[in-house]
Amino acid sequence: MHYLYILKSQVEDRHYIGIAENMNARLLRHNGGYVCSTKAYRPWRVLYTESYDDKTIARKREIFLKKTARARKELFEKFDNGPIV
């Protein structure tokens, strides 16, 4: 199983979109400072996840969200006040 996930920084108004096979391990890497792009904004919390059987489909969804500001904005507006998992 592959997961598309969106994280929210608990110290700044920032989001991070990524994919992973193991969500718990990936969140630990983000919060442990092992991911350069998220290190400065720790700690992070999982805001949203989607699960996929195929990594390629998860990756396409990730790319779509990263490239499409309107889709990202609409998604963030739905759940920015609390997690939807």
Residue 72: inside a domain = yes
Within a domain: 54:
yes
Residue 75 in any domain: the answer is yes
- Give the per-residue pLDDT at 81: 62
The answer, yes or no, to whether residue 83 has pLDDT greater than 80, is no
- The predicted-structure confidence for 6-15, as pLDDT tens digits, reads as follows 999 999 989 9
DSSP reduced 3-state for 46: strand
Q: Write down the mean pLDDT value for the chain.
A: 92
Q: How many domains does the chain have?
A: 1
Its domain, for residue 72, covers: 2-79
What pLDDT band is residue 82 in, cutting at 50, 70 and 90? low
Q: Is the residue at 84 inside a domain?
A: no
Q: Is-contact 48 81, C-beta < 8 A?
A: no
- The CATH number for 43's domain is 3.40.1440.10
Tell me the C-alpha to C-alpha distance, in Å, between residue 32 and each of 73, 77, 81: 27, 27, 24
Q: CB within 8 A of 55, min separation 6: which ones?
A: 2, 19, 21
* pLDDT, tens digit, 9 for 90 and up, residues 15-52: 999 999 999 999 999 999 999 999 999 999 999 999 99
